[in-house]
Amino acid sequence: MKQLVACLMMVAIILAVPVAHAKEAATMAADPVLEKRVMALAYELRCLVCQNQSLGGSQSDFAIDLRNEMREQMDQGKSDEEVTEFMVQRYGDFILFRPPVKSTTLPLWIGPFALLAIGALVLFIHLKRRKRTINTAPLSDEERKRAESLLDNK
Amino acid sequence: MTRHLKYLLPLAVFGVMVWFLGRGLYLNPREVPSPLVDKPAPVFTVADLHRPELQFASENMKGKVWILNVWASWCRACRDEHPLFVELGRQGIVPIVGLNYKDQRGDALEWLRALGDPYVASAYDVDGRVGMDYGVYGVPETYVIDKQGIIRYKHIGPVTAQSLQTKVLSLVKELQG
């Protein structure tokens, strides 16, 4: 009898453990396709409390809450764009890992190319000017002689 | 002169870069500008913290300049700023509404009993839904909302005596007219 009770208790403990763990694990959508969509979008959004992590990669309460919200909204049939819009309205463009092209972010997008173009232009003008000074200053006879003697010595 | 310029120009460019990078060191990356500033404050109705059978509706505050203070009993920094709000509540310059964020009702009530309750009303945002609409990502956060229900200022993190005076209260006085 004692053994039976012990055995039943063991079974109870074994059964209880996964239940206790189930509470710890993050909730997931029943539909794997939906869950994939949620996580794909979550990896595109910044976790504001852990800043260098995405909402997909973070286990903070903030990220879990927002993932739940995304899951719920997508479950109601909202598109990725609508969910993203919901997040941007509340947390600003900062939540997006890819900044949108807007008047305020234009320098960010064009800046590097503009700097590259300026650099190329400066280089081009400089080279052209250098070529001209080389062409317009031919060697004098004396210089030519010196150059020849130097070359011959070698 | 032009020859000098040739050498001074890179130095000037370098100086500008140093200034930008140096300034970046002193910015707080946690202070993310809220897109909600100058937008209508999200309207909400949730249970009252003190009397669960009653509701708090943000619409009730319309026509008044008010402060929304988001806090929780599990939040350490809230404890730091709380005496300032207790003092402000005592002065009665501006109504302060508390939004208790993702908390246990019992813990929250105990916290207010121990530290003082400066709030004209306390809303109980148990699941953080209201907080999400306000773009809350870390408590405490403090909002100044004008008579038309527009958010005019958001303070992230605990207010200090100085920031309360210079940023929050000066704005409140200006809005009250």
> CB A90 to CB B134 under 8 A?
yes
- Asked if residue B25 lies in contact with residue B127, where contact means CB atoms within 8 angstroms, the answer is no
Minimum CA–CA partner of A48 in chain B: B137
Token pair of A30 as six digits:
């029943």
Minimum CA–CA partner of A52 in chain B: B29
Domain count, chain A: 2
Q: How confident is the model at residue A98 (pLDDT cuts 50, 70, 90)?
A: confident
Q: Is B135 on the interface with A (CB under 8 A)?
A: yes
Question: A36 vs chain B: nearest CA distance in angstroms?
Answer: 23
In terms of Cα–Cα distance, which of A23, A26, A34, A127 is closest to A78?
Answer: A34
Token pair of A86 as six digits:
């919901």
CB count, 10 Å around CB of B9?
10
Q: How confident is the model at residue B48 (pLDDT cuts 50, 70, 90)?
A: very high
Using CB atoms, which residue from B102, B128, B135 is nearest to A91? B135
- A90 and A110 co-located in one domain: no
Mean pLDDT, residues B27-36: 78
The CATH number covering residue B138 comes to: 3.40.30.10
DSSP code at position A50: T
Question: B90 vs chain A: nearest CA distance in angstroms?
Answer: 32
> What is the b/e burial string over B103-129, where b = at least 16 CB atoms within 10 angstroms of the residue's CB?
beeeebbebbeeeebbbbbbbbbbebe
Q: Residue B141: give the domain boundaries.
A: 33-176
Chain A CB contacts of B34 below 8 Å: 92
pLDDT for B44 beyond 60? yes
Note whether residue B58 is domain-resident.
yes
Mean pLDDT, residues A39-64: 89
Note whether residue A100 is domain-resident.
no
pLDDT for A148 beyond 60? yes
Using CB atoms, which residue from A51, A69, A92 is nearest to B132? A69
Furthest-apart CA atoms within chain A: distance in Å: 121
Using CB atoms, which residue from A62, A88, A92 is nearest to B33? A92
CA distance B106 to B125: 14
Phi and psi torsions of A147, nearest 5°? -65, -45
Peptide bond into A138 cis (omega under 30): no
Domain count, chain B: 1
In terms of Cα–Cα distance, which of B90, B115, B88, B91 is closest to B100?
Answer: B115
- Residue A11 vs residue B75, higher pLDDT: B75
Q: Residue A118: give the domain boundaries.
A: 106-153
User: What is the reported pLDDT for B32?
Assistant: 74
- A117 and A51 co-located in one domain: no
Three-class SS state of A127: helix
Three-class SS state of A121: helix
The CATH number covering residue A6 comes to: 1.10.8.640
Chain B CB contacts of A94 below 8 Å: 32-33
Using CB atoms, which residue from A48, A61, A88 is nearest to B32? A48
Q: Is A50 on the interface with B (CB under 8 A)?
A: no
Q: Is B35 on the interface with A (CB under 8 A)?
A: yes
pLDDT for A132 beyond 50? yes
User: What is the reported pLDDT for B1?
Assistant: 59
> CB A90 to CB B132 under 8 A?
yes
Complex ipTM: 0.77
User: What is the reported pLDDT for B162?
Assistant: 94
- A90 and A25 co-located in one domain: yes
Q: Is B138 on the interface with A (CB under 8 A)?
A: yes
Chain B CB contacts of A65 below 8 Å: 128, 132
| Mutation choice for B interface testing from A66, A73, A90 by most B CBs within 10 A | A90
Note whether residue B42 is domain-resident.
yes
- A87 and A117 co-located in one domain: no
Q: Is A93 on the interface with B (CB under 8 A)?
A: yes
Q: Residues 74 to 133 of B: which have CB under 8 A from any A CB?
A: 102, 128, 132-133
Q: How confident is the model at residue A17 (pLDDT cuts 50, 70, 90)?
A: low
User: What is the reported pLDDT for B55?
Assistant: 94
CA distance B43 to A65: 20
Note whether residue B17 is domain-resident.
no
